[in-house]
Every structure is written in C-alpha cells, then in structure tokens.
C-alpha cells in the first residue's frame, strides 16, 4: 500500500519555497493541503496569493494544492465567526490576560490540524497506516520541529531541515520560479503578532487593523456582560485601537521568542 504523503501548506515563505522545490523534484510531495481559516480571518494578501500565484503554479506542475475549510453542522465555520458569535463562552485565540500572560487557544488545532486531519483520515490515514505529513520548518526555526506533536494517524517530517534550507533562502527559491514573494500568513487578529507588526498594519492596512479592533472589542463586550475582566490582542494591557493614537510606536514587549510554535501557522 502506498503511504499517503502530504505537505502542510500555510501560504507563507517556507510553504511556497517547498511548492517550488516539489515542482522541480527536490521534494517528494505532490499533495499540498491548505487549511483556509476563513476569508474574514486570514490575511487577504495570502488568499490572493494562493488564488493568483500558488494554485496556478501548482496546477501547471502537476501538484495538487487542495484548499480545505472547517465544516460544522454542514456549514463552513471561520475563526472570526466563532469569536463573534460565541458570547464569550470560550476563547478561540490566545488573547492576553490583564497580567500580560496569553490565555489558552484552540484556533490552530481546530481550524488547521483537525481540518487537515479529517482529509487525511478520509483518504485512508489510520493509526496502522499513518500519513506522512511534511511541515515547512526551516533550519533557523529548528527548535519548532517536534515529531512527538503528531496526531495518531500521521508521521511528521521536516524536509526543509533535511535540505538545509533557511528562511533567508526562500526568496531566492520562490523568485527562481518567476513567482512574487508572498506576504506573511496570519489571521487579522492573531495575538502572536509583535507590536511593530501591529503598527505596520495600522499604517499600511487600516481596514484590516479595524477588523482586528472589532474582534477585540467584541470579545470584551461578551466578557463584560458576564462580569469578567477585559483581555487584549497584545501584551500592552490596553485596547488595540488606543495603541497608536498619536502615531508613536510603543517600545514594549517586542520579544524575539514570542510566536506560535504549533508548526501549522506562519509557514
């Protein structure tokens, strides 16, 4: 029996470099799974890139780039929908508490890992016949690689590590295929974003920034109705819409070690 082999595609630099490497036979993966968390949630630039560049490139080179969505009760569910309609029953994203610590999150597990897992199991992956699932972690992110995080029906592998590819190598690889560089993939309202990245969104993508503020405001409206303290999308301890009122970047909390270590986002 042929082992099911897929690449977990996130829409970022590493994933698109891997797509090019697969097209040229340097990676032995022909199926790329893209768990789309929602057109109202994901970076719209990422979704445009997939539609206009990555998907046509994959098709032209005999690769399958398959877009998946979370289905709940027969309908597509997005992360933003979950947040806006949950009435504060639970937090889907890792919002920061008043003490600056991040809360729990289920976004990556429920909207990416479980979504791709459903596809894998529907195509034959089991405990006894595990799918080989590649993740686009590069050499400079080696600490994020952890095969023990694999689900029971999968075996995680890291082909970019085997090829010695660093994140800095990805632009050369992507451009060698005649493709433009993709933007960083992440939800509009992802709390893993650093303060300078929030300011860049505020200045360059005001509509996207406003959507993030709306998410934060909605979460806190729900919490206030239950008599609970507010939470935030940054460690700053104040509403996102107040951070850049005077056009000044806050010299706060720009920790290099912060970030999502789930291996399913931002690659």
Higher pLDDT, 245 or 7: 7
- The pLDDT tens digits of the residues spanning 212-260 come to 999 999 999 999 999 999 999 998 888 999 998 766 555 554 444 444 5
pLDDT at 150: 95
Higher pLDDT, 247 or 24: 24
pLDDT at 250: 54
pLDDT at 104: 80
- Residue 58's alpha-carbon distances to 16, 18, 103, 180, in angstroms, are 10, 11, 38, 14
Task: Read off the pLDDT of each residue in 20-26 and give the average, rounded to a whole number.
Answer: 98
pLDDT at 12: 96
Other Cβ atoms closer than 10 A to 2: 6
- Residue 190's alpha-carbon distances to 23, 154, 185, 193, in angstroms, are 31, 27, 10, 6
- The pLDDT tens digits of the residues spanning 68-95 come to 999 988 899 999 999 999 876 677 899 9
Report whether 78 contacts 38 (CB < 8 A).
Answer: yes
Q: Indicate yes or no: pTM above 0.85.
A: yes
Cα(91)–Cα(107) distance, integer angstroms: 9
Task: Read off the pLDDT of each residue in 96-109 and give the average, rounded to a whole number.
Answer: 85
> Which CATH code, of 3.40.50.620, 3.10.20.90, 3.20.20.450, 1.25.40.10, is assigned to 5-187?
3.40.50.620
In the chain, where are the structural domains located? 5-187
Least confident of 81-85, 155-159, 174-178: 81-85
pLDDT at 261: 47
pLDDT at 58: 98
pLDDT at 86: 83
Average pLDDT for the chain = 90
What radius of gyration do the chain's Cα atoms show?
Answer: 19
């Amino acid at each position: 029996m042929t082992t099911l082999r897929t690449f977990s595609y996130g829409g970022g630099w590493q994933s698109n470099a891997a797509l090019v490497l697969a097209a040229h036979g340097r990676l032995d993966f022909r199926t790329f799974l893209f768990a789309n968390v929602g057109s109202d949630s994901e970076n719209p630039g990422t979704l445009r890139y997939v539609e206009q560049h990555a998907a046509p490139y994959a098709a032209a080179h005999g690769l399958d780039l398959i877009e998946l969505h979370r289905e709940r009760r027969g309908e597509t569910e997005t992360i933003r929908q979950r947040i806006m309609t949950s009435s504060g029953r639970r937090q889907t994203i890792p919002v920061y508490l008043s003490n600056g610590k991040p809360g729990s999150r289920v976004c990556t597990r429920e909207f990416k890992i479980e979504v791709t897992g459903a596809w894998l199991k529907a195509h034959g992956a089991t405990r006894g016949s595990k799918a080989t699932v590649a993740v686009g972690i590069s050499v400079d992110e080696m600490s994020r690689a952890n095969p023990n995080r694999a689900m029971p029906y999968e075996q995680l592998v890291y082909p970019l590590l085997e090829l010695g590819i660093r994140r800095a190598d990805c632009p050369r690889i992507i451009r060698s295929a005649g493709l433009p560089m993709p933007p960083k993939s992440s939800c509009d309202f992802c709390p893993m974003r650093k303060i300078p990245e929030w300011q860049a969104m505020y200045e360059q993508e005001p509509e996207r920034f406003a959507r993030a503020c709306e998410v934060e405001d909605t979460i806190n409206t729900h919490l206030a109705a239950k008599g609970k303290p507010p939470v935030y999308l940054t460690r700053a301890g104040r509403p996102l819409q107040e951070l850049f009122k005077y056009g000044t970047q806050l010299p706060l909390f720009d920790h290099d070690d912060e970030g999502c270590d789930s291996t399913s986002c931002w690659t």
